[in-house]
Amino acid sequence: MSDGLQVADVVVRYAGAPAPAVDGVDLTVPTGEVVALLGPSGCGKSSLLRAVAGLEPLAAGDVAWDGVSVADVPVHRRGFGLLFQDGQLFAHHDVAGNVAYGLPTAVRRDRAARDARVAELLDLVGLPGTQRRDVATLSGGERQRVALARALAPRPRLLLLDEPLSALDRALRERLALDLRDVLQATGTTALFVTHDQDEAFAVADRVAVMDAGRLLQVAAPAALWARPASRRVAQFLGYEAFVDVPGPDDAAPAAVRALVGAVRGAGVALLPTGGVLALAAGAFVVVPDPAVATPAPDAPAPATPAAATPAERNVAHGSAGATVSGVSVGGGPGVERGVVHGSGGLTVSEVPVGGGGAGGVVGVVVVLRSRRGRTEVVVDVEGVGRVSALAPAGWTCAPGRRVPLRADAAAVAGLPG
């Protein structure tokens, strides 16, 4: 007999909708495992969670626990806990009162047992000693911690979490995602976790189930899902931004495609069948600066941003210390190109002879630079590949329209079937 949650060919329909919200989904969540339902808005993930909870009727299929159907069991008798986006705390109760509300009646009536369990749960979620606090004084993250403690109070056999962190700012979401993972592991809680955020799903879950248009597209552990997306649609949702056909051994291919295939084949990180596809994430190419001439430039005023630049293109990384960046000219005839210096201290762009480039002669034309979460991303147009986000050293900069040498990084490439 199967243990944990079993979802079998579940269909959820809404009156007047042209298609089912959930369309024949099969999913298992063994006891002690955390599974994330990941997908874009409207894909059916919350409808599936609500069907598991008993909040939505099944048009077809079954929901079972340990092999026994719960399809006809009322919501409050399923033994499943619920945690929603806004926490839904009771304003007329303090923190202890909110947590205690989730306890079984027998425990609530025993004051010593109630107080001990509330203190245990608040310690678990990182809020020790807050029993008497008014919930109106809590931050958003603290409110969700209290809501989590309340949901765990009755020791549910399954915890259902519907976008519990989505109302918080990114830094707080990332921190709480890790804390949530620790709490679920510490309590051995079986959980089904709905989110549209890939990083959140990967941080919290043992396995991730990708949904789209009411169907499951792929279910896998986070590392396996990232390395082996089952389809282009899955890869696109995970954040892969460009797709390149794998050439045959005798096919002509641009330098960038040859470099990608060589890097991936050498690293052995993706399958490369002829007729297959390479999926490229941010960082599939890395800018290659010239360290031999990395010297500070004399102080000089920063030049104006080119008039044609968009607001996004003006979001470049500005540095105060000098560094050298290679510019590259390609094509026939002698000559060099020089990048433009940005920053109050100046960043020198070295001269590189015609024919230069990264490994395999790969060159990209800079579209825009941006600083994102402590790293420099360079959006480049690469022949044979298209527009992708390359990574560059911190503080690196170059003017839009310049050519820069690149190397391929197999760690940001996945192989897809043709």
Each residue's pLDDT expressed in tens, for the chain with a length of 418 residues: 569 999 999 999 999 999 999 999 999 999 999 999 999 999 999 999 999 999 999 999 999 999 999 999 999 999 999 998 776 899 999 999 999 998 888 888 888 998 999 999 999 999 999 999 999 999 888 998 999 999 999 999 999 999 988 878 778 888 889 999 999 999 999 999 999 999 999 999 999 999 999 999 999 999 999 989 999 999 999 999 999 998 887 788 899 998 998 888 888 766 666 678 999 999 999 999 865 333 233 343 443 333 333 333 333 333 333 333 333 323 333 333 323 333 333 333 333 333 345 555 799 999 999 887 677 899 999 999 999 999 998 888 888 999 999 999 999 999 887 6
**Closest by alpha carbon to 81, among 21, 172, 147?**
147
User: What pLDDT does residue 290 have?
Assistant: 60
User: What pLDDT does residue 207 have?
Assistant: 98
Query: 10 Å Cβ neighbour count for 289?
Result: 20
CA 329, CA 403: separation in Å to the nearest integer? 7
User: What pLDDT does residue 296 have?
Assistant: 33
Query: 10 Å Cβ neighbour count for 244?
Result: 23
User: What pLDDT does residue 266 have?
Assistant: 84
CA 243, CA 277: separation in Å to the nearest integer? 6
Long-range interactions of 296-299: CB distance < 8 A, separation 24+:
296/321, 296/322, 296/323, 296/345, 296/346, 296/348, 297/322, 297/341, 297/345, 297/346, 297/347, 297/348, 298/346, 299/344, 299/345, 299/346
Whose tokens are 């002698």? That residue is 334
At 359, give phi and psi (nearest 5°): -55, 125
pTM above 0.85, yes or no: no
The string over 295-327, giving b where at least 16 C-beta atoms fall within 10 Å of a residue's C-beta and e elsewhere, is eeeeeeebeebeeebeeebeebbebeebbbbbb
**Closest by alpha carbon to 407, among 261, 251, 284?**
284
User: What pLDDT does residue 306 have?
Assistant: 35
The helix/strand/coil state of 360 is helix
At 52, give phi and psi (nearest 5°): -65, -40
User: What pLDDT does residue 248 have?
Assistant: 81
